[in-house]
Amino acid sequence: MTATNQRTINPALRSIESADPDARWLKKGSRYFFGYKGFVTVEEKHGFIRGLHVTPANRAEVKELENAVRNAGTVKGLYADKGYASKANRAWLNEQGITDGIMYNGSAAKPLDAIEKLTNRIISQVRWKVEQCFGTLKRRFGFSRSRYRTVERVESELYWKSICFNLLKAQRLLRDKCA
């Protein structure tokens, strides 16, 4: 870029309207993302998707646990990552009679003890099915980015891709059973 093409713009005065009225900004580490978060509930035995919902990207995971569980139907136990760790979520699971499998989140002020570290290791041995689900949705079905705008349309796209994911998983289970 030459010096004649450069312009100085005051960032406080600059405003850009988005074509997507529902999408929001999120900062993860040093990177910024614009869009949505998909929340998926996966059954433990085979890894089929049982429930899902979508929110704007700035919505915290810790506030979405109840919606995720309600969308999944009957749940006896829940394994979740550290993003869902809170006293309120653990109390809610206890009230519902659901086994608490939320990973513990340490901090500099309160590091994890040996039991919490062991619990996290045990939970992560089950949670890989959820991570596998997201990896397959992104890699195989191109869900790194949504093709649509608004929460309803993005959620609809996630439903369709989840149906395809479950069909692929069922086909592989039947193939392995018949072999």
Decide: residue 109, CB within 10 A, 0-12 exposed, 13-18 middle, 19+ buried. Answer: exposed
For residue 171, what are the domain limits?
24-178
Against a cut of 0.85, is the pTM above it? Answer: no
Q: Is residue 9 part of a domain?
A: no
Q: Does residue 19 belong to any structural domain of this protein?
A: no
Does residue 13 lie in a domain region?
no
DSSP letters, 138-169, are HHTT-TTS-SS-SHHHHHHHHHHHHHHHHHHH
Dump pLDDT digits (tens) for 18-65. Answer: 778 888 888 888 988 888 988 888 888 888 998 898 999 888 889 988
- Could you give the percent of the chain with pLDDT greater than 70? 90
pLDDT tens, 72-114?
778 888 888 888 899 999 999 999 889 888 899 888 888 888 9
Per-residue confidence (pLDDT) for residue 2, from 0 to 100:
43
126-to-89, 106, 145 alpha-carbon distances in Å = 20, 20, 27
Residue 143 domain-assigned (yes or no)? yes
Q: Is residue 159 part of a domain?
A: yes
What CATH number did the domain enclosing 126 receive? 3.30.420
Contact present, 8 and 137 (Cβ < 8 Å) = no
With respect to residue 116, please indicate whether it lies within any of the assigned structural domains.
Answer: yes
Token pair 């949705």 in the structure block, residue: 137
Angle CA 74–48–95, to nearest 5: 25
In a domain, 99, yes or no: yes
Q: How far apart are CA 81 and CA 127, in angstroms?
A: 8
Total number of domains constituting the chain: 1
Instruction: For residue 150, tell me if it sits in a domain.
Output: yes
